[in-house]
Structures are given as C-alpha cells and as structure tokens.
C-alpha cells in the first residue's frame, strides 16, 4: 500500500491481515468467512461538499424542471434548482426522498444505470475540477487490492442508491454489482407490449444507512463481516455489529481532516458527520485514519 504513510493505522491493517490469513495461527479465518464491507461516500470517494449522487440528482431536477414549474416555489426542489446546499441538507431524509421519488421513477434499472454512466463520463466536480469517478481515494483503492490478494471478498454497503453505485462499482473499484448493497426504491415487474421489464417506482424501498446497514448486510450477504470500513456516524452500527462478533475483528474510520488536499469536517458537518465515532473509536479498538497524516496522496494521479 504505497500511498499509506508508515504508522499505527497502516500497521493495524497489515497486522490484522497477517493474523487472519496465517494458516497455522490461532486467529486464522477461512477464506469463505473473510468478508470486508466498505461504505462508499467519504470512505472510497469524496462526498464533499455534497454526496456525488446528490450532484447527479440536482442535474436530474434541472432537466425535469421545465415540466414542473411549481418546483421553483416548492422546497426542497427550489434549493436543488438554486444550488442551495445548506437548505437541501437541512431538508433531511424527507426532502431527499421527495426529490428522489420525483426524479428517479419510470426507468428500468438498465436505463437508469446508463444515465448514471453518461453523466459520470461528462460531469465535473465543482471544487476539484475532475470527473467524479476520478475522485476516489488512492489509498483505499490500494487497500481494496491488498485485501483481495489476501483472499477477502469485498462488499460495498452504502446509504447511496444501489443502482447508482452499480453503474460504476466494477469499473472503478473492481467490485461487481452483485456485491453492492445500498438504498433502493420500489421496483415492480411488468410485461409491456409482450416484453418483460422491471420498472422503478416513486417509492422508497430500503434505506441502507445507520441501523439499516447491518440489517442489509445480514439480508444480502448472510455472513457477519470480519472487517468494516467507514467514515461517519452513518457507518457506526455497521462497525459496531461487525466488531462485536467472535474471533478476530477489524474496524476502521476515515477521518476527513485534510483541508488542504480535500476537506476537513467531522462533528458539525451536514454530510458525513463524524461525532460519536470520533469519541468511541479508540475505546472500541477501531483504527482512526487521519487523511492528513496517514495518506501520502488523496486522489489517483491525473491522466
């Protein structure tokens, strides 16, 4: 992992991997049980100053706004149209769900993923001036590769939309779509003009955040992971449940404390808030990674 500085964080990762893969050691874990779960936003790629899917959704609102003139007067649509991130964040889950329901319905999963892929190919982050799928964390890409080489099976477990992430997860992270767990909207099966299809509806099906994360992991994986990686209090329950299991366990939190190279935020942030996790990581034995001190670089070199 060349982009990691030598220190306690890197040593904790390497030490854990050695313990669970040493065949004659007391902490050996069979390959089938080497499950590692990773949050996405703020853990594998940037989420500042707004989640990447949030930027995508804002563009969807703008595209559909001419058909909905009432959005100019109605929150949180007005905030989305004017780029008022503060009001948008303050609208909470209810506001975001309203926007998602109004802008994500009607497509098949394949059509929606194609729209995401097209957007990622052209859209540019307003702060970093790069395509969003270039704003992944180089040290975490190296960590994914390291764990795979040690026989781990990697799952993404994120509050982001599952179909949104499946549009790029394999290409960007090497994680196939069947190993992505995320929030979802209701999808119905129907036959239209003699052809079967799945259609996305304007209803929330499952929110894969906070306590929903361990529930989703249990439902879709069926094994308790032995390692969990996150960056916010939205990942707390996933790390808590993972590290409460028997045998060797590992939890890691990425702390955004590098204002010069990315962003510095934690307790009072409207995105990726890290408060309880910051207080309790040490006493729970979780590794707290300082982006500023533990990472030699943040993003991959630009091509």
Q: Note the pLDDT tens digit of each residue in 55-80.
A: 999 899 999 999 999 999 999 999 99
- The pair phi, psi for residue 138, each rounded to 5°, is -55, -45
The kind and range of the H/E element at 173 are helix 169-173
Domain locations in the chain?
8-294
Lowest mean pLDDT among 27-31, 90-94, 126-130, 228-232: 90-94
Above pLDDT 70, what percent of the chain?
A: 99
- Spatial strand order in the sheet of 250-255: 195-206, 180-192, 153-161, 35-38, 227-230, 250-255, 287-290
CB crowding 215-240: b at 16 or more within 10 Å, else e: bbbeebbeebbbbbbbbbbbbbbbbb
Give the integer Cα–Cα distance in Å for 36 and 33. 9
Give the integer Cα–Cα distance in Å for 211 and 239. 10
**Taking the domain 8-294, which CATH number applies?**
3.40.50.1000
Above pLDDT 90, what percent of the chain?
A: 88
Check residue 301 and report its DSSP letter: P
**For the chain, what percentages of helix, strand and coil (3-state, to nearest 5) are there?**
45, 20, 35
**100 confidence band (pLDDT: 50, 70, 90):** confident
In this predicted structure, the answer to whether residue 14 has a pLDDT above a threshold of 90 is yes
> pLDDT by residue (tens digit) across 182-207?
999 999 999 999 999 999 998 889 99
Tokens at 256, concatenated? 């955004």
> pLDDT by residue (tens digit) across 159-186?
999 999 999 999 999 999 999 999 999 9
Helix axes 52-64, 92-103, angle to 10 degrees: 50
CB of 152 within 8 A of CB of 174? no
What pLDDT does residue 272 have? 95
Give the integer Cα–Cα distance in Å for 268 and 95. 20
Verify cis geometry, omega within 30 degrees of 0, for the bond prior to 155: no
CA 288 → CA 78, 124, 230, 253, 292, distances in Å?
38, 30, 10, 5, 12
What pLDDT does residue 8 have? 98
**85 confidence band (pLDDT: 50, 70, 90):** confident
In this predicted structure, the answer to whether residue 153 has a pLDDT above a threshold of 90 is yes
CB of 272 within 8 A of CB of 295? no
What pLDDT does residue 101 have? 80
DSSP-based three-state secondary structure for 146: helix
> pLDDT by residue (tens digit) across 271-300?
999 999 999 999 999 999 999 999 999 999
Give the integer Cα–Cα distance in Å for 202 and 83. 23
CB of 130 within 8 A of CB of 148? no
CB crowding 81-112: b at 16 or more within 10 Å, else e: beeebeebbebeeebbbbbbebbbeeeebeeb
């Amino acid at each position: 992992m060349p982009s990691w500085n030598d220190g306690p964080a890197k040593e904790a990762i390497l030490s854990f991997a050695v313990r669970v893969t040493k065949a004659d050691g007391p902490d050996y874990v069979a390959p089938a049980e080497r499950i590692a779960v990773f949050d996405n936003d703020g853990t594998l790629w940037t989420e500042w100053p707004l989640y990447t899917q949030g930027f995508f959704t804002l563009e969807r609102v703008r595209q559909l706004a001419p058909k909905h003139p009432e959005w100019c007067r109605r929150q949180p649509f007005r905030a989305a149209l004017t780029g008022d991130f503060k009001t948008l964040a303050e609208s909470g889950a209810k506001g975001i769900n309203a926007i998602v329901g109004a802008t994500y319905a009607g497509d098949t999963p394949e059509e929606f993923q194609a729209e995401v892929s097209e957007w990622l190919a052209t859209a540019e982050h307003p702060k970093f001036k790069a395509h969003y799928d270039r704003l992944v964390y180089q040290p975490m890409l190296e960590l994914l590769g390291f764990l795979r080489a040690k026989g781990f099976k990697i799952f993404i477990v994120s509050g982001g939309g599952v179909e949104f992430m499946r549009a790029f997860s394999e290409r960007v992270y090497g994680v196939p779509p069947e190993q992505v767990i995320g929030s979802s909207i209701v999808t119905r099966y129907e036959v239209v003009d003699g052809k079967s299809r799945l259609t996305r509806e304007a209803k929330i099906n499952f929110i894969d955040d906070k306590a929903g994360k361990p529930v989703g992991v249990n439902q879709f994986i069926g094994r308790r992971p032995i390692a969990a990686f996150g960056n916010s209090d939205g990942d707390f329950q996933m790390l808590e449940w993972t590290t409460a299991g028997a045998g060797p366990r590992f939890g890691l939190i990425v702390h955004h404390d590098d204002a010069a190279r990315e962003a510095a935020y934690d307790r009072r942030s409207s995105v990726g808030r890290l408060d309880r996790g910051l207080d309790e990581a040490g006493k729970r034995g979780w590794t707290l990674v300082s982006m500023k001190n533990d990472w030699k670089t943040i993003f991959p070199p630009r091509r």
